[in-house]
Chain A
């Protein structure tokens, strides 16, 4: 089956700890994205990557870091510098940043709770 997998589905961490969320896709998509979703808000872009070893900050990148060492993988690290990390995190991919069709396909999400 082609698609995007995110793991784990639920993640619990203590305040002050860094945590890494996994995102893998087998759609052969060039572009990958990380979004954060909070209740009553739309999706907000954290980071995005067009190609391997390249990524750009989105609208709310502070307190987050990413890497793109493989085309299939785009892990997100939530650092202790992120002031309000508890949220639902969504990974997405698309054929390319400037490639039509522009559809972004989403993974099932990881719910992170930091106490």
Chain B
């Protein structure tokens, strides 16, 4: 019940296209859902995060869509650029006594010029 399932494992998108990465969770107590971006040999960097009181959050070209009833959330990257090529991780946590993030297994995105 603690798992976060992420798909696809890898994704190839043409420059200017839309990249979509999906995550699903089981624990309905989760109330914080961040996305991290990681370049090779670097630590993950927080990209965007959402809480379940909203269904969508947009920051620039990055949008999180959240479906509470389906227990799913997704990252959309509009107008994908070669510089977006990285590994993306979704995560989830439950506020309260601890803030342990449960991570998905990651999606390797390659944006072709």
Contacts and interface: CB of A to CB of B under 8 A. Distances in A.
Nearest to A101: B49
A97 interface: yes
A48 B36 CA distance: 19
Interface of B: 4, 6, 9, 32, 34, 36, 41-46, 49, 89, 93, 95-101, 103-106
Contacts of B34: 102-104
Contacts, number: 66
Nearest to A40: B105
A96 B93 CA distance: 13
Interface residues of A, number: 30
Interface of A: 4, 6, 31, 40-45, 48, 56, 58, 90, 92, 94, 96-109, 111
Given A98-B98, A103-B49, A104-B101, A43 B93 contact: no
Contact of A98 (B6, B44, B95): B95
Contacts of B43: 4, 6, 90, 92, 106-109
B100 A48 contact: yes
